[in-house]
Structure 1
Amino acid sequence: MNCMIRTETTADHAAIHALTSAAFREAPHSSHTEQFIVDALRARGELSISLVAETQGQVVGHIALSPVTVSDGSTGWFGLGPISVVPAWQGQGIGAALMRAALEALRQQGAHGCVLLGEPAYYGRFGFRAEPGLALPGVPAEYFQVLCLQPPLAQGEVQYSSAFEATG
């Protein structure tokens, strides 16, 4: 798969909205608000890292990272998601390329860690795992996963931006 990963530009916003909507349209675990979450994070200035995958001049994937708060006061922690790939391009390594680029961007920024809500078998490939001392209230523990980039590992409850409540 020959795709270029780059930081989003203003010209990409409509394409990101459309591809995020399309990527989650058939997802059973989705509230189908992911595109609104990205828009709200951007509007609030909380889209810390926003990368797109482009191939053949078309934006076919996107990944968002935003700050999270941890009840122990740890700083430098980010939430990964949503991550989206246009359905016709899924299964070709675009999501993995976005993951690798996003994690490298976090490392370059000196981030302490990253959390996400997702499928353990998929995200485990990138070093994510459930950590008993770090939790997202209200979700099954095995799906809330952590990647510590710089010890110590934060401890406590994680809270995402209120932008994750966006519905339109």
Structure 2
Amino acid sequence: MSLVIRAEAPADIPAIEALTVAAFAQAPHSSGTEQFIVNGLRRAGQLSLSLVAEDGGELVGHVALSPVRISSGATSWYGLGPISVAPARQGAGIGSRLMGAALAGLRELGAEGCVLLGDPAYYSRFGFIVRPGLVLPGVPAEYFQAFSFSGEWPVGDVSYHLAFEATD
């Protein structure tokens, strides 16, 4: 595997959309709107990082990162997601490579931290933890996790960009 992780290019947009649809098609937790979220973030200029995994010219993975708001006023926090890997390539380490590149990219941006909604058994390997006091209203607390680059932890409700409510 000659996997390359790089920033998305305009020509990648149709492939990112198709990949995202395929990656979430059978996911039990999916709303079926993940591709609309990515497109909405892009249109709103809120994709702080949009990285693709490419293998032999084929797009096999994508991760989106966007700013989040925290009610305490803490700044420089980002939300990770959606993250997509081609169904035939899941379990081959592509998601892990994307996660590493995403966290490195956020460090370069000077981020204070990152939040995500996902399986704690998977994301804990990257240092994400459930942090009491940092809340995404309306979701089970054990699935909302955070990673701090500085060791400082804000307290408050987290809100994502309105693109996360996109339905088309």
Flag whether TM exceeds 0.5 (same fold): yes
- Specify the SS of the correspondent of 1:122: helix
Q: CA deviation at 1:152?
A: 1.9
Q: CA deviation at 1:61?
A: 0.3
Report the equivalent of 1:139.
Answer: 139
CA offset digits 1:48-78 (Å, max 9, x no partner): 0000000011011000000000000000000
Report the equivalent of 1:67.
Answer: 67
> Aligned partners of 2:73, 2:119: CA distance in 1, in Å?
27
Q: CA deviation at 1:151?
A: 3.5
Report the equivalent of 1:125.
Answer: 125
Report the equivalent of 1:98.
Answer: 98
CA offset digits 1:89-113 (Å, max 9, x no partner): 1110000000000000001111000
> Aligned partners of 1:58, 1:94: CA distance in 2, in Å?
13
Amino acid at match of 1:16: I
Q: CA deviation at 1:150?
A: 1.6
Amino acid at match of 2:164: F
Q: CA deviation at 1:2?
A: 2.8
Identity %: 63
- Specify the SS of the correspondent of 2:152: coil
Gaps of 5+ in 2: none
TM-score between both structures, scaled by the size of structure 1: 0.99
1:1-168, aligned counterparts within 5 Å? 1-168=1-168
CA offset digits 1:114-139 (Å, max 9, x no partner): 00000000000000010011000000
- Specify the SS of the correspondent of 1:26: coil
RMSD (Å), alpha carbons: 0.6
Q: CA deviation at 1:166?
A: 0.5
> Aligned partners of 1:37, 1:48: CA distance in 2, in Å?
14
Gaps of 5+ in 1: none
TM-score between both structures, scaled by the size of structure 2: 0.99
CA offset digits 1:129-167 (Å, max 9, x no partner): 100110000000000000011242111000000000001
> Aligned partners of 1:150, 1:65: CA distance in 2, in Å?
18
> Aligned partners of 1:19, 1:126: CA distance in 2, in Å?
23
